[in-house]
Structure 1
């Protein structure tokens, strides 16, 4: 029912004129490079923490335990609170920063918010590469976390506002593609850095984060701000000029009028943080909270953070574990192209449902394979055949995530909110994402030690819950202009109930946008 309603909305909405232009592709490509640093950090952490020289310098007790603790369960070899704190400190910093970034983005625009993130990325990467003690290491991670907050909030909104409605999904998922490229690049760097003699390979791994940081820092200076942001700043002529350029036509009257009307509604909201708590926004806020929670409960970051450690834990050697992480990173990239090709034709709901089913099956099989080999004691080493099977099913699991919950977990929160509360809604989504990522990073190794192979069953149970949730409660948003996204919720079988009591208020808020469209929605 939800899908049908959304399709009807998309069909009734007047299609804006314009085409995919180079002036859209280039800015979207530059903005999406912010995903490189996010992905690079996700991939680099696990590889660095599996390097003996890094452990010897910063976490000698972990290295000593790994080398001398005979008979220790395979599940518990790397269980160390300081080690997990190194990984998770970035996400705690991003969580705190995300609470303040929305106001900065609203005041300064999407472009300068991306620039601020790039500067913070660059400082953090430099500090980490030159770290002499744990304090410098953690300080660098904190700066990287602030950069993640800026990038995670501003880039998805920027991409959604620049893209034509019919291609919004494809262009927004380019950000996720860059994240997967960053993960893959990190795995390659770790594989090579681990072989460097002299024990300084970990510095190269951490310091090279400065390369994508420079790309987004310098690139953002030359980006045009989005028409929505320019109109909000009162720069109407410039906004119209940018809109004409990104659409490749001067016939932008309908879209420009809708943007101006949406901006007028936004200016009527004096306190957006209070406004977002209104009943009429409850469907969007619910999704902005649950989608990032569900995204982390797929278990993907547990796999990506600790892929080398995980593969080493199940009996693969150091080189083999890093190579297995490289393989999963390559799978991640290839599968993301599937999402780019399908998201605007097949829609969001189908990809999420199919990906959920695929991840569920793979996690159950992976948990069973590890359980059959290690049991609950985890004292045995795994055979090469079983190790290959585990890697294969983890790759299939990663592919399912890469064309469903990975890109769509970023896309959906950025497109469902109206302009007046869009930065606040995205801020909530980023904050929840960082909180859950922090929790997963903190809890994964202790949970692996205590739950053993049952950890994969734990995540598979959540994948089942979220897949059913999507089937019942997520409306289809493909092709719907973000200025008219409210109609998707009004016509949904469940969420429409929340808007009925405020129908008159919603009508007043939306009428300015709809009156320019020439279509009764």
Structure 2
């Protein structure tokens, strides 16, 4: 590294962090690969015109696999390293895509989606960890939030591929898009070979010289003596030494005082991101607009695409300003707005809708009321915009930065597994819910958002602009229900303070840091 054009590219923190986000884009591809075929007659005929429950099970197969994949990261991320684990996720995705593309029945399709889900679960857990460990504090939120932006791009691009292929007659209308999903994964696995390993993982495995070189290339223009590089290097070494004295790396570490609280915060934030109702608007937006009275397959597809474009566009301000606005204000604003718009959708549906039949399915639908139909569409768009600019990016950034290194891979995997657990449950439950309790479904998710607001206000401390090591002091300062009281200067340290703390550990620091290398 440090020599030649390709080395300079691989040492640019923006390029390193953003390229890894292709792993997040795989999740977006999967969302559109399903939402885009729900009104496709060739898809319905090939897979036996699945009922609402059967379709929910097909969609839920992916997050079921993702749940298992996210838990695997606890072992893979520490054993193989962050970089190799990302590469592995891309290879697994290719296998899943092949099975989906060749599927001749529901069973084969479900197996393919489970394998693809395994890949998405691995990538969604390890990519934010990798990004948080290779970026400087001033841009960490921005780069980790690119994970969400890549998801929105995956949704958008795959949806337009589905839209274009919908004009093809026969099975090719859905098999071609499912086959093309392999291309980004191949690019991800091949491209990651050029990028560095996480410096924190390298130090943790006794490879300090490599770690210093990576930090210098990423944050110091190749100069290991710059203040930021030295500060980060010394902080990481000190933190690794301290954490090794705390005991072995195992799941029992997640139950220790101070850690369990953070595991709860990371897992609950991922839970709230799913319970926000975004799944309805992504997986099943066709059903939502059908219920609003939007008729015609072409018109429905166009209306859906507008929503996906907004999702991409409104994520950009969040990426740019997340390290300025802060995590707490974004989450609090987002949950209030999302709850409000979902309540409006439910209210309009309840007042003007009735039970009817659309495409041989029982649907709560609005007919003959153009104003409420447009109102529901607009509220749906505003809901998606609210999620995109707030909860979406922060739900990936926050869990990746609140854990100490000794448990980071495991804790993030647990948080991400929580995301997929609720994703699985909601993906399966929403179609039957819409066909049974109809508009009341929106009231349920609206209430979840208001509950999330209360939880976040009292229990989620701000973490913007701090190194991963300084965040330790943030959680040591605040109590469980006093997140809003934590001072902005808590945890701030100079290079001299860090070196002084390291010296206090004793003359045996270097010897203990070399334990793994000698093993």
TM-score (norm 1): 0.86
Within 5 Å, give how 1:157-196 maps onto structure 2: 157-196=129-168
User: 2: CA distance between counterparts of 1:304 and 1:111?
Assistant: 30
1:25 corresponding residue in structure 2: 14
CA contact (8 A) 1:262 1:512 kept: no
Deviations 1:37-77 (A, max 9, x none): 111111221111221110101023x4xxxxxxxxxxxxxxx
1:449 corresponding residue in structure 2: 435
Deviation at residue 516 of structure 1 after TM alignment: 4.5
2:200 corresponds, among 221, 224, 228, to 228
Deviations 1:338-377 (A, max 9, x none): 1112211110111111111211221111111222221467
1:403 corresponds, among 389, 392, 412, to 389
Deviation at residue 389 of structure 1 after TM alignment: 2.0
Asked whether 1:425 is paired with 2:411, we answer yes
CA contact (8 A) 1:27 1:223 kept: yes
Asked whether 1:291 is paired with 2:266, we answer no
1:320 corresponds, among 299, 303, 307, to 299
CA contact (8 A) 2:23 2:188 kept: yes
Asked whether 1:44 is paired with 2:33, we answer yes
Which 5+ residue runs of structure 2 have no aligned equivalent? 1-8, 357-363, 484-496, 505-519
1:265 corresponds, among 242, 249, 253, to 242
Change (3 A) 1:261 1:393: same
Deviation at residue 385 of structure 1 after TM alignment: 3.8
User: 2: CA distance between counterparts of 1:115 and 1:514?
Assistant: 39
Asked whether 1:434 is paired with 2:420, we answer yes
User: 1: CA distance between counterparts of 2:99 and 2:439?
Assistant: 37
Deviation at residue 513 of structure 1 after TM alignment: 8.3
User: 2: CA distance between counterparts of 1:30 and 1:470?
Assistant: 31
2:77 corresponding residue in structure 1: 105
Change (3 A) 1:318 1:413: same
Deviation at residue 463 of structure 1 after TM alignment: 0.4
Number of equivalent positions? 469
CA contact (8 A) 2:152 2:312 kept: yes
Deviation at residue 486 of structure 1 after TM alignment: 1.4
Deviation at residue 144 of structure 1 after TM alignment: 0.6
CA contact (8 A) 2:125 2:412 kept: yes
1:130 corresponds, among 88, 96, 102, to 102
CA contact (8 A) 2:275 2:445 kept: yes
Change (3 A) 1:219 1:514: farther
1:334 corresponds, among 303, 313, 320, to 313
Which 5+ residue runs of structure 1 have no aligned equivalent? 1-19, 63-78, 498-510
CA contact (8 A) 1:129 1:204 kept: yes
Runs of 4+ in structure 1 off by over 4 angstroms are 511-514
User: 2: CA distance between counterparts of 1:95 and 1:202?
Assistant: 26
1:484 corresponding residue in structure 2: 470
Deviation at residue 296 of structure 1 after TM alignment: 0.7
Deviation at residue 382 of structure 1 after TM alignment: 5.5
